Amino acid sequence: MKKLFIDSDVLLDFLLDRKPFSDDTAILIEECIETKVKLCSSLLSVANMHYIIGRLEDKNQADFKIRKILKIISIENLGQVVIDQVLNSKFKDFEDSIQNFCAAEAGHKIIITRNTKDYKESELSVLTPREYLAKLRSE
């Protein structure tokens, strides 16, 4: 089964309906569900999303939206091996480095994010939702 790792910024676009980005994310999620692509993220993303939604809305909405997204995505393990890789990497952003190595350790080939510039050190393919959708349509 094909897997796709989605960064928290993209999932937040969807959960908070941040226009215009949420439209591409909604289409991406629908396409992946229809084509049986397994959507994944990290525990760090879930924690970050809950915190941000809680600050912007409230804890009840954060709980509700996290439950909603967990029906769509699976959580990849995040452990000592990933943190060791992060601490020895050339990534400038600690959180993005965690996302990258979590995805790589779980066997992902692609990370979906709107923050592509911070993944310059990644050996994975790093695409925005729009770029990924364009790639799907060209295949």
Q: What is the pLDDT of residues 7-24, one digit of tens each?
A: 999 999 999 999 999 999
Give the pLDDT mean for 43-64.
97
Number of domains in the chain: 1
pLDDT of residue 78: 85
pLDDT of residue 136: 84
In whole angstroms, give the CA distance from residue 99 to residue 111: 9
pTM for this prediction: 0.92
pLDDT of residue 126: 97
* Boundaries of domain holding 133: 3-138
CATH number for position 118: 3.40.50.1010
pLDDT of residue 124: 97
